[in-house]
Amino acid sequence: MLQFLRMSLMISMMLLSSQLPAQSGEEHTVQHPTFYRTVQIDGLSIFYREAGPKDAPTLLLLHGLPSSSRMFEPLFARLSDRYHLVAPDYPGFGHSDWPDAKKFAYTFDHAAEIMTHFTEALGLSRYTLYMQDYGGPVGFRMILAHPERVEALIVQNAVAHNEGLGALWKARRAFWADRAAHEDTLRANLLSLAATRTRHLGSDPNIERYDPDLWADEFAFLSQPIQADIQSDMFYDYRTNVDAYPKWQEWMRKNEPRLLVIWGKYDPSFDISEPESYRCDVPKAQVHVLDAGHFALDTAADEIAALIRDFADQ
């Protein structure tokens, strides 16, 4: 009798399980945990997130300002079943070392050099680059240095054309022309709580979709005493990106890489014309403008993950 009851209970549980509705987002079940690691690169501790099978196609994710590899957590939760995801923090960002700006060159050339050494230390010989904001100038430098390593490009709100810099860049261009005279204005324009919040929300009317911790945490990071000098130096060097745009465009036109452009249309910093500028360079580029902001993963992670899967399947 006891055995009969046990069997009846097991059958009942199986039947109940089969009748339960599928859990929302079940297709995004994480099959591979995310690991939080550090590696020594050029005397610095570089932090990175890593997930997915190492024999799967690698997606190298390069973050923007003032974020870190943390911004890619939504993709780790949705793509680690199929891709090897690696997302480092640049020096001066996130959990990587923050060397003193008086002793360390915070330039895009230097960041790209360290990120290149990072990929070599991890044995990443082929990868798709996902570049957001600052990830664009870091990534394009890596591409020109080692084009043979890049399988495809995913650009998300990162500029490679002068016309893509919006109205907010007027004060920033003045800073490049005369740093001493415009340092205070630049820091308010770039590093304040209001600016940090606006970077996420932009002109999106659906502000209730945004977690306020996104900008609160970033502002806490920017408020660290050393950060004002780091970010000011880095942004002063941004003028070298504008000078380099023609080289990046020439490389894209000549090589016509597989290119996916994902654009949050509520971005307050970058002009909405920029996605089509990429298509002018790479006519076969896939371009998708989303109802999202500068950090489109804030609100459109499911859509972006689906676009990446479709892009990779082609």
Cα Rg of the chain (Å, integer): 22
Which residues are part of the catalytic machinery? 294
Spatial separation of the C-alpha atoms in residues 76 and 85, rounded to whole Å:
7
Q: Which residue has the higher pLDDT, 248 or 18?
A: 248
Give the architecture (CATH level 2) of 31-166+241-313. 3-Layer(aba) Sandwich (3.40)
Instruction: Give me the residue spans of the domains in the chain.
Output: 31-166+241-313
pLDDT over 60 (residue 270):
yes
pLDDT by residue (tens digit) across 76-127?
999 999 999 999 999 999 999 999 999 999 999 999 999 999 999 999 999 9
pLDDT over 70 (residue 16):
no
Q: Which strands form 127-132's sheet, in the order they lie side by side?
A: 35-41, 44-51, 84-88, 58-62, 127-132, 150-156, 259-264, 286-290
pLDDT by residue (tens digit) across 141-191?
999 999 999 999 999 999 999 999 988 898 899 999 999 999 998 888 889
Degrees to nearest 5, angle at CA 27 with 211 and 201: 20
Q: What is the pTM of this model?
A: 0.89
Q: Mean pLDDT, to the nearest integer, of 192-216? A: 95
CA end-to-end distance (rounded Å), the chain: 58
